[in-house]
Structure 1
Amino acid sequence: MRFKAAIRNIHTFTKLTGSLLLLSKVVWIRLDNDQVRFTVIPERGSQVWAVLSIDSIFEDYSVHSNTPGNTIHLQVSLTHLNRALRSAINATFASIRLTKKDGIPLLAITITTTTFASLRRPPTLEGLNERRLPSEAPNSTSRAEVDRGNDDSISFQDHPPAPFPSDRETTITQSVAATVLPPQSVASIHEPTCREPDVHILLPPLLQLKAISERFTKLALPTSSAATGDENLSTRLILSASPYGEFRIGVQTAACKIESKWQGLTNPELDPTQIEGGEEGVREHASTRQKNLTREEAWATVRVEGRDWGRVLGVGRLGGRVVACKSPDPFFEK
């Protein structure tokens, strides 16, 4: 099997791996002819299934294997991959390929950088004439100047110009250990299925939402711990959205109840080409029926673990806005 590509958008690739690193240290990468998929499945917490078009991060993309669709499954350390990509942020060219060394599969990331190099200006006679011996007084005439004045036959030529600065290319290859997974080992791994969401809404800026979520989690955690005696108790946040452009986040314990609310947000319309049944499917969709309810009845609510939710919002470094889909059932709750 073979895989190689030029990295077209190193910043997006680096931010993606940095966001996934908040959730897990290992990622499953699926490469095929049509797309690149990054999957994080931690032992507990949120799963991430990120599907990217090839041209969003790669160019001159080439993949070959004996499986249908030229599919290659790799398991890679996110820590090492992100570190290698961060070193290529200012590179003029970067590429990635699947190789092998001593029988160990590796992802080799080759980085080409341009450095600004210049030679040091050589010393001149004028510079030497300005130097004084320690025994000479500040106003005394230097020995070189006396010799020059006594010998009219001495002629001084203009010193040669300093060489112009030049650009120098440096190529560095970093290797990241990878495990090639056989198709049989990943055949049973499928993206989680959820019921059709009742509300689609464009969330507020994720970094703003992340700050508020972390503040609510910290405020509620001491009261929850004091009530149960468990210092490691997880605090659940209550997320609610309506088809009227409203979104709420809050926390409720025996000691406190806090809530923040946004209005005037966007509820994206469904694309009939992406819905089974087309126009008829859109009319029968759960989110369409939700719009027929009153403002008080149209809220869809879920409960999420506060710390896990905060890590998920770390994708704000990749994209500041995201569409959230919510169902009224608290399917996040254990």
Structure 2
Amino acid sequence: MRFKTSIRNIQTFSKLTASLSSLGKVAWVRLDDLNVRFTIIPETGTQVWASLSIDSIFEDYTIQSNAENNAINLELPLPPLHRALKSAINASSASIRLTKRDGVPVLSLTIITNTISSGNTANGFLNGASQDPFGDNAFREQDLNAGREREAVVTQDIPVRVLTADSVEGIHEPRVREPDAHIILPSLIQLKAISDRFTKLASATSTGAIRSGGANNIPKLELSANMHGSLRLSISTDALNISSVWTGLTNPLLDPNQVNPDGEGLEDHPSTLLRERGPDAWSTVRIDGRDWGKVLSVGRLGGRVIACFADDHALILYVYLANYEDGTDESVLTYYISSFSA
């Protein structure tokens, strides 16, 4: 079993791990010849299934195993990986390899940073001379290596568990019925700011029940979309009822071949039926405001985000990241968020 690669875009990789680690501390990572997958399945809250093209974060990618497609499955703690990547932000290069330390499998992150060596510069000599022009140190021997570039190499090990193919065979993405509405979201940074504000207002104006942490008393945001380009975010408590509406958004067209393998039309699709009911027909989900704020942290990665609403059932987000070289949508992060009952 062998895995080694250079990190092409350290900043993007660091932002990705920061976003994922806010939702779960441990990820299932699948590496193979085709792509890199990160999966977060917490006991409660949002599930994440991220499928990244190799070129979006890696280069000089080498992998070898006895499994199909040279697949390697790992259980990876995300916070240590994110801390290691943060320390590599200003590095000139960084690489990762799967190895062992004292019999324990680790992902070994090697960071190379170019630094300017310290030494007595001419400016330092003159400053010293001006303070005591006739002292013993008025004339000093200069370091000829002063100011030369030096290479600093730091290696950090992140312990991992290597999983067998059989142990992950039964893991699959949640099955969700066809959505009633699908819409391209506005800026996630803007959406997160308003969502966090609504959640804080709800917590501040609610009784002690919310602060007690009961599952039925957490701040719940209501998110709705129609098939006429509108998105509505609202929250309601005994003390307040506020909402914010975006209009002029895009409802992307569905590919009939993806919805119906036989190529049949979309006349009876739930989103078509919702569109026919007009702009006052909405598909709505109710979600945990705090969890939703963590989901929206993926906005730091940029990209196009499509939200699919299965009314009163689930919200699925597809976050498309542009390919590093040709700008195609080859990398996608999929978020599954269950809806609270009305």
TM-score w.r.t. length of structure 2: 0.82
Quick one: which of 231, 235, 256 aligns to 2:212?
Answer: 231
Name the CA shift for 1:90/1:46 in 2 (closer, same or farther; >3 Å).
same
Provide the C-alpha distance between the structure 2 equivalents of 1:55 and 1:284, rounded to a whole number of angstroms: 39
1:148 corresponding residue in structure 2: none
Provide the C-alpha distance between the structure 1 equivalents of 2:177 and 2:25, rounded to a whole number of angstroms: 29
Does 277-286 or 196-205 show the bigger shift? 277-286
Are 2:180 and 1:214 equivalent residues in the alignment? no
3-state secondary structure, aligned to 1:90: coil
What's the C-alpha RMSD, in Å, of the aligned pairs?
2.7
Quick one: which of 167, 172, 175 aligns to 1:190?
Answer: 172
Are 2:276 and 1:295 equivalent residues in the alignment? no
* Letter of the 2:230 counterpart: E
Name the CA shift for 1:42/1:324 in 2 (closer, same or farther; >3 Å).
same
Does 283-292 or 206-215 show the bigger shift? 283-292
Provide the C-alpha distance between the structure 2 equivalents of 1:107 and 1:218, rounded to a whole number of angstroms: 39
Q: Report the alpha carbon displacement of residue 285 of structure 1 after superposing the two structures with TM.
A: 3.2
1:313 corresponding residue in structure 2: 296
Unaligned runs of 5+ in 1: 134-143, 145-158
Name the CA shift for 1:325/1:128 in 2 (closer, same or farther; >3 Å).
closer
3-state secondary structure, aligned to 1:322: strand
* Letter of the 2:275 counterpart: K
2:69 corresponding residue in structure 1: 69
Quick one: which of 191, 205, 213 aligns to 2:187?
Answer: 205
Q: Report the alpha carbon displacement of residue 272 of structure 1 after superposing the two structures with TM.
A: 4.5
Q: Report the alpha carbon displacement of residue 229 of structure 1 after superposing the two structures with TM.
A: 7.5
Does 204-213 or 234-243 show the bigger shift? 204-213
1:82 corresponding residue in structure 2: 82
Q: Report the alpha carbon displacement of residue 224 of structure 1 after superposing the two structures with TM.
A: 4.1
Provide the C-alpha distance between the structure 2 equivalents of 1:278 and 1:117, rounded to a whole number of angstroms: 67
* Letter of the 1:302 counterpart: V
Q: Share of identical aligned residues, percent?
A: 51
Name the CA shift for 1:61/1:275 in 2 (closer, same or farther; >3 Å).
farther
Q: Which one has the largest radius of gyration? A: 1
Deviations 1:72-99 (CA, angstroms, capped at 9, x unpaired): 1111111100011111111111111100
Provide the C-alpha distance between the structure 2 equivalents of 1:117 and 1:323, rounded to a whole number of angstroms: 49
Provide the C-alpha distance between the structure 2 equivalents of 1:31 and 1:97, rounded to a whole number of angstroms: 12
Provide the C-alpha distance between the structure 2 equivalents of 1:64 and 1:44, rounded to a whole number of angstroms: 35
Deviations 1:303-323 (CA, angstroms, capped at 9, x unpaired): 111111111111112226521
Name the CA shift for 1:259/1:320 in 2 (closer, same or farther; >3 Å).
farther
Q: Report the alpha carbon displacement of residue 277 of structure 1 after superposing the two structures with TM.
A: 3.2
Number of equivalent positions: 307
Q: Report the alpha carbon displacement of residue 117 of structure 1 after superposing the two structures with TM.
A: 2.3
Q: Report the alpha carbon displacement of residue 184 of structure 1 after superposing the two structures with TM.
A: 2.1
Provide the C-alpha distance between the structure 2 equivalents of 1:240 and 1:246, rounded to a whole number of angstroms: 8
* Letter of the 2:38 counterpart: F
Name the CA shift for 1:121/1:308 in 2 (closer, same or farther; >3 Å).
closer
Q: Report the alpha carbon displacement of residue 225 of structure 1 after superposing the two structures with TM.
A: 3.1
Are 2:232 and 1:248 equivalent residues in the alignment? yes
1:120 corresponding residue in structure 2: 120
**Contact preservation (8 Å) 2:120, 2:142:** no
Name the CA shift for 1:313/1:130 in 2 (closer, same or farther; >3 Å).
closer
3-state secondary structure, aligned to 1:280: coil
Q: Report the alpha carbon displacement of residue 270 of structure 1 after superposing the two structures with TM.
A: 2.2
**Contact preservation (8 Å) 1:207, 1:320:** no
Q: Report the alpha carbon displacement of residue 197 of structure 1 after superposing the two structures with TM.
A: 1.2
Quick one: which of 311, 322, 340 aligns to 1:333?
Answer: 340
1:166 corresponding residue in structure 2: 148
**Contact preservation (8 Å) 1:28, 1:39:** yes
